[in-house]
Structure 1
Amino acid sequence: MSSEPRPLTGRESDVLTKLLSAGGAREYLNQIPYCQVIGTWGAGSPSVDLIVGVGVSRADGVGDGIVSNGAVTDQNGSAVGEIILWVENGWLSGIEYAWYTDERPRNLPDPDRIEIL
């Protein structure tokens, strides 16, 4: 669902930071302050499409696709989902929350519940 661009929520920003702080995706960290949400993946979905505004450089060396992902666990340590960070042409483009439970989560998970894969 497309919508008027809006700033990232604190949770969205924290999840991006967690996913990008590990491995070869660090060059995308500079884009976080310039990110806006431009749509959700359906009514009530915590998955969002992103756009990066002017004022920051495109990341080099990484094309399209998944740049980082992490397993999501519940308070007991059981796997309940996965967070996938998508990029397009060197720009952050989406946060996907794929869940393994019967009920769709309403929010992105706490970054402490994400283990980078």
Structure 2
Amino acid sequence: MERILQVDFPGVAELRHQLDQVQVVALWGSNSVSVDLRVADDAPRAPIPTGVAPVTFTVIDEEGVLVGEIILWTESGMLSGLEYAWYGDQPPTSLPEVDRMVMS
């Protein structure tokens, strides 16, 4: 998430402050690397709508082939999910290395 929140967009300062208080509370499925997040209520809320944060990173493999994307979700101005949406038949077994994430 730190890599994603390096990009400037409205509300990113508040989301950066939430990083110290964010917790993973659930996986999206037994074989999923996507997670639900929860932030302490006293963290600053970002002035952005609920849904996908206005920044997306694509994921490339060792050959530079596009294999997925990382999506950051918010709810009421708080970090609420980190999704690894993959392309293809085989789901990833871990989140990608930071050097495989490219801002799209």
Task: Verify same fold: TM over 0.5.
Answer: yes
Correspondence for 2:95: 108
Correspondence for 2:3: 18
1:14-93 pair list within 5 angstroms: 16-24=1-9, 25-27=11-13, 28-59=15-46, 61-67=47-53, 68-93=55-80
Q: What is the CA–CA distance in structure 2 between the aligned matches of 1:101 and 1:72, rounded to whole Å?
A: 13
Normalising by structure 2, report the TM-score. Answer: 0.90
Structure 1 segments (4+ residues) deviating >4 Å: none
Q: How many residues align?
A: 101
Give the conservation status (yes or no) of the 8 Å contact 1:34–1:54: no
Q: Which has the higher helix share?
A: 1
Work out the percentage of aligned pairs sharing the same amino acid.
41
Tell me, which stretches of 5 or more residues in structure 2 are unaligned? none
CA RMSD after TM alignment: 1.2
Which amino acid is the alignment partner of residue 71 of structure 1?
T
Q: What is the CA–CA distance in structure 2 between the aligned matches of 1:66 and 1:23, rounded to whole Å?
A: 15
